[in-house]
Amino acid sequence: MKLLHAFLLSALTAACAVPLAAQQSTPPPAAPPAPAQPSDALPDAPEATAAAMIHPNGPTVVMDTSMGRITCQFYQKQAPKAVANFIGLAEGTIDWTDPTTKKKQHHKPYYDNTTFHRVIPEFMIQGGDPAGTGEGDPGFTFEDEFDPNLNFDKPGRLAMANSGPNTNGGQFFVTEAAYDSLNQHYTLFGQCDDPSVAVVQTIARVQRDANDKPLTPVILKKVTIVPEGRPIPPPPAVPTPPAVKITAATAPQQ
């Protein structure tokens, strides 16, 4: 999606300028020491912020890629439409239109065997386009869902990509760093765990072209939805190479 690309690049540029400005600034003067309190005085307990009270809830999505597993729990209460849409596309219970053939797909998982078509180090990885170009969608859109207390203030945020307000479809991205400039512009509907962020960082650093598309495709092999409270399935087994049968013709010669 072109507008997302431009917005993400502008956000990345702005973010990169922050450390330089911070280095040039002068630290504020130290505050005077606080007066001593009586030994029997106890500090007030800190109040939890509204943002701190929001925790991932609902099912978990497991994305097995060609470079590792990404596991994220949804924010079902905060973004019910985005979560329902992602689950329906992942499981094939929502009909969608193939962006390449323009044919309606019925009972076919949308995300399996697609690619991450845009990756940016220190920022995010983006996927969810069966065409692999960044222009494809499932043939429909739905409106944004924003929670004022749920923002891009930590790594591992799972969000819908878009090309403007209320144009969510099937494309999504996962961040590897906090990006305040994305707040309230993209529907945030999940949080990925720390090992998954490490996988995102690895994917974001593959060789890529001028459009940030990996030169060697990174495949989203399978997306699995795990109901809340159910165990996460084990990672897929790594195929072992077939054994080589040693014969007289193949045995090493002295």
Fill in the amino acid letter for 143. E
- The SS3 of residue 134 is coil
Task: Render each residue's pLDDT in the chain as its tens digit; 254 residues.
Answer: 544 544 444 444 444 433 333 333 334 444 445 555 554 555 555 556 777 789 999 999 999 999 999 999 999 999 999 999 999 999 999 999 999 999 999 999 999 999 999 999 999 999 999 999 999 999 999 999 999 999 999 999 999 999 999 999 999 999 999 999 999 999 999 999 999 999 999 999 999 999 999 999 999 999 999 999 999 999 888 766 666 666 655 556 65
Query: Please, which residues bridge with residue 62 across strands?
Result: 71, 224
Residue type, 213: K
Amino acid occupying residue 63: M
Helices (H), the chain: 2-24, 80-91, 194-204
- The correct answer on CATH 2.40.100.10 for the domain covering 55-226 is yes
Provide φ and ψ at 80, rounded to 5°: -65, -35
Closest listed residue to residue 145, CA positions, set 62, 86, 93: 86
Domain residues of the chain, as ranges? Answer: 55-226
Residue 60: strand pairing partners: 73, 226
Q: How far apart are CA 78 and CA 59, in angstroms?
A: 13
Q: What is the reported pTM?
A: 0.78
pLDDT for residue 75: 98
> 208, 182, 215: which is closest to 12 by C-alpha?
182
Whole-number Cα distances in Å, 23 to 27, 102, 180, 225, 253: 9, 52, 20, 44, 65
**Which residue in this structure is represented by tokens 């992602």?**
86
CA 154 vs. chain centroid, Å, equals: 12
